[in-house]
A and B are shown apart, each in its own frame.
Chain A
Amino acid sequence: MDVIALSWSDILLAALPLTALAAIFAWQRLGVSRTLLIGAVRTFVQLALVGVVLKGVFQNARPLWTFCFSMVMLAAGTWEVTRRQHRRFVAGWTVGLAALGLFIAGFTATVFALVALVGVRPWWSPQYAIPLLGMILGNTMTGIALGMDTLTQNAWKQRAVIENRLALGQPASEAVADLRRESVRTAMTPIINSLAVCGVVSLPGMMTGQILSGSDPLAAVRYQMMIMYLIATGAGFGNLLTVQLCARRLFDNRERLRLDRLRS
């Protein structure tokens, strides 16, 4: 059984009500119609480009193409993490730490899934590797961005507390421990929530897609379970690692709080 394909005119038809919504927003002077339309156009252009590129990558399945595509995803994820920071480390440390966290956590989880769980041969097959990496990296990105932002924002606000703890002779790791815990917890909350409501409140997009394309619902559900576990693992480890490294970067070798290393 094959999925019923949508034509380009179907897409135009789908965009019509959205355009009407934007018109009503503009009429009510809500100030969001412009960004809504830009977002809609971006969705169209970005997805169309990805579709074209993926078609090419799938047709000539070579490890180099899969690798290149995954590096572009890593770069985009790193950029997005950096963009979401209210305060960034100077000298490119935010970019570097984001890329490191995304790479270690996201890629490890994906390779584990490809080799040990899906068992596709060759393991880098783009049809499996790219969608899996995309889902895992996307959620790892959200976790890392939120964890880093919470840590640096709170370090900035709680400067006096951290320094008073240092003055009392606490090591930097102890003086910042509460902040670190809070950052990891904050970043994990949306992921834990999504685990809790998955299938009840929300039907995950990937599972829906598989069911639409004719897969056995139980097979689709098993895929989704795997994805959910890997997303939580990737986001969790990525978050843990980057928050730890960022917390260390907030202090110098004499355990002084160095907020001059942050720039808003």
Chain B
Amino acid sequence: MKGICVTAFEVRELSYGGFGPVTFAMHEGEIVGLSGPSGCGKTRLLRALADMDPWDGHIALQGCAPAAIPASQWRQRVAYVPAESQWWFDEVGEHFPRTPEEADLHALGLDSEVLGWPVARLSSGEKQRLGLLRTLVNRPAVLLLDEPTAHLDAGHTQALEALVAGRCATGVMALWVAHDPAQLTRVASRGYRMAAGGVLSEVDTWM
């Protein structure tokens, strides 16, 4: 699919839980930034795009609507990564549908040994990095990242930005929610600002 310039992820007239309507699109390999005041509906938008909350309007990934495939498959393709990851088994590795690539673990400053750790041993920063990694093993086409570096120090923030950028270089799309204008300037090729009520406007500069 790469090379054919298509609007790979399209959202038209989307309303969700009293927010919207929202219209925007993403091309293959793009990282699109999204910022806005707390409570304006950013997380709710990501949840609706992953088909986790009821919504109305039009969503399509490469022309395919969510309803065309089972919801679980849609969520593997259009993956929502919540700001706070949840861990329900005892061991870290049990939460991974497949073993993550060694290179990806290293890229985020982790070792494959961490998969054998009890969850209780993880710091909030480790949880956040591992939360992204377990999503990546599903090979999603769209990443919906909700403040993905909220718990990370500067070094790990950079590492995570680089890892996502690397994925997007292979055609993956990312919608990146963040409050830090400097980060959005670094990672996003373009972006939107959301006002109260979920109204989107295109952003020229984050600063």
Q: Which residues of A contact B (CB under 8 A)?
A: 158, 160-161, 163-172, 178, 252, 254-257
Residues of chain B lying within 8 A (CB to CB) of residue A167 = 50, 52, 75, 79-82, 135
Do residues A169 and B51 form an inter-chain contact, with CB atoms below 8 A? no
Given contacts A254-B71, A255-B72, contact A166 B52 (CB under 8 A): yes
- Bound complex: CA of A176 vs CA of B9, how far in Å? 30
A-B contact count (CB 8 A): 61
Do residues B82 and A169 form an inter-chain contact, with CB atoms below 8 A? no
- Bound complex: CA of A257 vs CA of B76, how far in Å? 17
Residues of chain A lying within 8 A (CB to CB) of residue B85 = 164
Quick one: closest A residue to B52, CB to CB?
A: A256
Do residues B88 and A166 form an inter-chain contact, with CB atoms below 8 A? no
Residues of chain B lying within 8 A (CB to CB) of residue A170 = 72
Supply 10 further A-B pairs (C-beta < 8 A) apart from A166-B72, A169-B75, A256-B51.
A160-B86, A161-B86, A161-B88, A165-B86, A167-B75, A167-B79, A167-B81, A254-B51, A255-B70, A256-B71
Quick one: closest B residue to A173, CB to CB?
A: B72
In the complex, whether B73 has a CB less than 8 A from a CB of chain A is yes
Contacts of B89-142 to chain A: CB distance below 8 A:
97, 134-135, 138
In the complex, whether B66 has a CB less than 8 A from a CB of chain A is yes
In the complex, whether B53 has a CB less than 8 A from a CB of chain A is yes
In the complex, whether B180 has a CB less than 8 A from a CB of chain A is no
- Bound complex: CA of A171 vs CA of B80, how far in Å? 15
Quick one: closest A residue to B75, CB to CB?
A: A169
Distance (whole angstroms) from the CB of A92 to the closest CB of chain B: 21
Residues of chain B lying within 8 A (CB to CB) of residue A166 = 52, 71-72, 75
Residues of chain A lying within 8 A (CB to CB) of residue B82 = 160, 163-164, 167
Given contacts A164-B82, A178-B88, contact A169 B52 (CB under 8 A): no
In the complex, whether B56 has a CB less than 8 A from a CB of chain A is no
- Bound complex: CA of A158 vs CA of B71, how far in Å? 20
- Bound complex: CA of A227 vs CA of B61, how far in Å? 58
B72 CB contact (under 8 Å) in A158, A164, A171, A178: A171
| A-B pairs with lowest CB-CB distance, top 8 | A169-B76, A164-B86, A255-B71, A171-B72, A161-B86, A167-B80, A254-B71, A169-B75
What are 15 sample pairs from A and B whose C-beta atoms fall under 8 A apart? A160-B82, A160-B84, A163-B86, A167-B75, A167-B135, A168-B75, A168-B79, A169-B73, A169-B79, A169-B138, A171-B71, A254-B71, A256-B51, A256-B54, A256-B71
Quick one: closest A residue to B77, CB to CB?
A: A169
Residues of chain A lying within 8 A (CB to CB) of residue B76 = 168-169
Quick one: closest A residue to B79, CB to CB?
A: A167
A165 CB contact (under 8 Å) in B50, B84, B88: B88
Residues of chain A lying within 8 A (CB to CB) of residue B72 = 166, 169-172, 255
Residues of chain A lying within 8 A (CB to CB) of residue B80 = 167
Do residues A168 and B88 form an inter-chain contact, with CB atoms below 8 A? no
- Bound complex: CA of A164 vs CA of B79, how far in Å? 10
Q: Contact mask B153-174 → A, CB, 8 Å, 1/0? A: 0000000000000000000000
Quick one: closest B residue to A163, CB to CB?
A: B52
Q: Contact mask B24-56 → A, CB, 8 Å, 1/0? A: 000000000000000000000000001111100
Do residues B51 and A171 form an inter-chain contact, with CB atoms below 8 A? no
Do residues A171 and B88 form an inter-chain contact, with CB atoms below 8 A? no
Distance (whole angstroms) from the CB of B97 to the closest CB of chain A: 7
Quick one: closest A residue to B71, CB to CB?
A: A255
Residues of chain A lying within 8 A (CB to CB) of residue B138 = 168-169
Quick one: closest A residue to B84, CB to CB?
A: A160
- Bound complex: CA of A30 vs CA of B154, how far in Å? 60
Quick one: closest B residue to A257, CB to CB?
A: B52
Do residues B53 and A168 form an inter-chain contact, with CB atoms below 8 A? no
Residues of chain A lying within 8 A (CB to CB) of residue B67 = 254
- Bound complex: CA of A256 vs CA of B47, how far in Å? 10
Quick one: closest B residue to A256, CB to CB?
A: B52
- Bound complex: CA of A166 vs CA of B82, how far in Å? 11
Residues of chain A lying within 8 A (CB to CB) of residue B88 = 158, 161, 165, 178
